Amino acid sequence: MRAYLDHAATTPMRAEAVAAVSAELTRTGNPSSVHGSGRAARRVVEDARELVAQRLGAEPAEVVFTGGGTEADNLAVKGAYWARRDGDRRDVLVSAIEHHAVGDAALWLAQTQGAQVTLLDVDATGLLDLGAYRAALGPRTAVVSVMWANNEVGTVQPVAEVAREARAVGAVVHSDAVQAVGHVPVHFGRSGLDLLTLTAHKLGGPVGIGALLARRSTALTSVQHGGGQERDVRSGTLDVVGAAGFAAAVDVAVATLEAEAVREAALREELFDRIRTAVPDAVRHGASAADPAAGLPGVLSVGLPGAPGDAVVMLLDAAGVDASTGSACSAGVTAPSHVLTALGVGEDEARSVVRFSLGHTTTRADLERVTAVLPDVVARARASAAYV
């Protein structure tokens, strides 16, 4: 039995989501069709939309289904910029530790659309520098995007304050909450945000469906064109099966969030204690390094000095443990994580970091498996580094 400790990359589907998906797999009918089969399919989608909205403090009309988090982030950043830009509003502000779906979208706007992009500094724990953020805001600001919680080090941002400051200057404010929804409390209505991204597979739903929560008052220009579905900002045949599984996963993740967060945080702290026993010079990164009660409950970013992270991950894999060197979307890239370097971590140290991420299937047996093999894994990784 493998120990799966890479939930921040993708989370195993919950039984409720599997049941919901299975129930819809044989359904026939395009939800845009007007006949009976189409209307029945549409009811499944609209029921899913209402459930997602209810669990996240949104209105059903604010839920725009997408093909996942990356698409939703691109629609938010590009769509809001295109809808807002005029002669003076060309500034786009994003934190320096954003997922590439936001960061690269913003840089593309700078390279091709005349945007002026500012990467907002964070402190050594990954927390946004609010002073620098306020200094960057102004009448030229079109879009602000600051992630709710970071995928590599787990730091949770003061999203409500970020939103309040952005709206005060008339900017559209977005947050990538892919890692947050289902893991920490998220209420769209109370957040002050205009736009919020989430995706199913990070909280126990199927891969291939996500959503952008978008206030009706927030203008968006479509990134893709076609049949005009989803408020005419996201054309494409609606995924009935995915919507059903997505809603079921959101439902159970939010309902069990409080108890599950306590359980995962306890396991995370136990895992780090075990790692420190096995590798005494191990260090941790992110908000939970300074305060164990802070950050995402299931994310643990650990530096193993002298042991290249990619070698550690491969050796762990061979020993039956799934972990990551950082964001799975950057797999295969040898450059140090942009998140860690933004925290002020040196290149050599950043290359020795491994991310363990826990979730609803994690048990103490998983921790025991990791720490049983870790001393040998680290010793072998360090030995291999000596020959490079």
Active site residues: 329
3-state DSSP assignment of residue 364: helix
- CB count in 10 Å sphere of residue 300: 28
Residue 336 near residue 347, CB atoms below 8 Å? yes
Task: Report H helices in the chain.
Answer: 15-24, 36-55, 69-84, 100-112, 130-136, 159-168, 188-191, 240-255, 257-278, 287-290, 309-318, 338-342, 347-350, 364-385
Q: Which residue is associated with the tokens 């140090």?
A: 336
Helices 240-255, 36-55: inter-axial angle, 10-degree rounding: 20
- Closest by CA to 337, choosing from 175, 98, 146, is 98
The phi and psi torsions of 150 (rounded to 5 degrees) equal -85, 140
Q: 127-137 b/e with 16+ CB inside 10 Å = b?
A: bbeeeebeebb
**Which amino acid is it at 352?**
S
Q: How many CB atoms lie within 10 A of CB 254?
A: 20
Distance between CA atoms of residues 316 and 377, nearest Å = 7
Report the C-alpha dihedral over residues 348, 350, 356, 359, rounded to 10 degrees: -170
CA–CA separation, 353 and 309 (whole Å): 5
| Closest to 96 (Cα-Cα) out of 72, 132, 57, 138 | 132
- Alpha carbons 267 and 265: distance in angstroms, whole number: 5
Quick one: which of 203, 179, 213 has its CA closest to 75? Answer: 213
Q: Which of 321, 309, 323, 313 is nearest to 351 (CA)?
A: 309
Angle subtended by helix axes 309-318 and 364-385, to nearest 10: 130
